[in-house]
Amino acid sequence: MDSCSVMPAAGDLQGRHILLGLTGGVACYKSAELCRLLIKAGATVQVMMTEAACQFITPVTMQALSGRPVVLSQWDARTADNMPHIHLGRDADLILLAPCSADFIARLVQGRADELLSLTCLARPAGKPLLIAPAMNREMYAHPATQRNLAQVAADGAQVLGVGHGDQACGEVGDGRMLEPEQLLQAVVAWFSPKVLAGQQVLVTAGPTFEAIDPVRGITNHSSGKMGFAIARAAQEAGATVKLVAGPVHLPTPEGVTRIDVQSARQMLEAVRLHLPEYGIFVATAAVADWRPAEAAEHKIKKDGSGQVPAMAFVENPDILATVAQTPQAQNGALFCVGFAAESQDLEANAQAKRVRKQVPLLVGNIGPATFGKDDNALLLVDAEGTTELPHASKRVLAQQLVAEIARRLPDTRSA
């Protein structure tokens, strides 16, 4: 699964009410998990199912997971005035159709209103968000009629989410799978996120680097990459185009983020240099190795039984952040640079000194041993004005707060 499940999403959708519409498709089985994830993230969920959807998963399952009776028919008399198509649409902060079949997309295009779900979509007030997660066989998805219909529903105001690629229930392989529940959750969370970085391009480095000693050994550190990945995700949700240059980490790529994997500090610098011209914000979270072996042996260094240990010389790695901060792009204000400092003591003094030394406008200090590998942290932001504390919270929440702090500090000419 190519999605980011690193941070617990609890609270991301607190207070939001989602109308989850299921239409006929095998992917309905994934909607059970989606419903669970939405609720875990703090949302309340009202499930609405078409007759065809009930062929694939029962309303009983969806009722148990959502904690609410599922609505199936426009003739459902439980609504006092018998107008569920009006009230259930109005009550929701967002309507999510997952899975959305080819037939249902065609129904939306035509403005059909002969069953409850399409009727509710047609009756939704202007501006009520409608997110569509298509799910169908690859030939159906690629068919000009479907593509035409998808373009039309998008033009009519719906947000059409992508589809996955891979094995399909019919045995074929291709585009048309419904996105995974975690990806759909991210799309919903992203929809609600304030777009404080709309139109911005953000380049993030994350994780450790690996400096080879020989083909099987190397020097690295305990950085998990979680903070950098959380920042990439939060920036993407805030409307930015995000590229992530990642050292060796075991983390899935956040939805909508482009990722470049590297090993060594020099590879990381090369990737950053290559892409930098397109970016306006650079966030260096990577724990780059300060030194590397002067020479990496071509073949494995053997223990020869003599008790002698191999002599090893080191050379200093390039400082990626300092190098970037020296570029004309950063010096003339077209690139806003953010550095991190993992300290073990005197956080404020050390972070401020590092900010001045590296010539970056914003440096984020944290206590190194307290953060490596963890899901939560506390940050101290240091800039020319002084300090701002981001108290102990999950890295997910801290990343969202940091993104807002970065947006606030962008020169007026560049802010969204």
Contact residues: ligand C5P, CB under 6 A: 205, 265, 284-286, 288, 317, 319-321, 339-341, 354
Nearer to ligand C5P, 176 or 339 (CB): 339
Nearer to ligand C5P, 355 or 396 (CB): 355
Rounded to the nearest 5°, which phi and psi values hold at 188?
Answer: -70, -45
% helix, strand, coil for the chain, step of 5 = 35, 25, 40
Active site (annotated) includes residue 28 = no
- Give alpha helix (H) positions in 193-332: 226-237, 265-275, 320-325, 328-331
Q: What 3-state class would DSSP assign to 17?
A: strand
229 torsion bin: left (phi>0), alpha (psi -120 to 50), beta (else):
alpha
Nearest-approach distance from CB 230 to ligand C5P, in angstroms: 15
Minimal CB distance to ligand C5P: which residue?
Answer: 320
Kindly give, in sequence order, each residue whose CB lies less than 8 Å from that of residue 197, ignoring residues fewer than 6 positions away: 235, 238, 239, 240, 281, 403, 406, 407, 416
Nearest-approach distance from CB 174 to ligand C5P, in angstroms: 40
**CA–CA dist 395, 401 (Å, integer):** 10
Nearer to ligand C5P, 21 or 365 (CB): 365
Nearest-approach distance from CB 358 to ligand C5P, in angstroms: 6
Nearest-approach distance from CB 129 to ligand C5P, in angstroms: 36
**CA–CA dist 231, 229 (Å, integer):** 5
Nearer to ligand C5P, 182 or 405 (CB): 405
Nearest-approach distance from CB 244 to ligand C5P, in angstroms: 13
**Alpha-carbon dihedral 325, 330, 335, 341, rounded to 10 degrees:** 20
**CA–CA dist 80, 353 (Å, integer):** 66
Nearer to ligand C5P, 238 or 284 (CB): 284
Q: Which of 100, 121, 170, 337 is catalytic?
A: 170
Catalytic site residues? 170
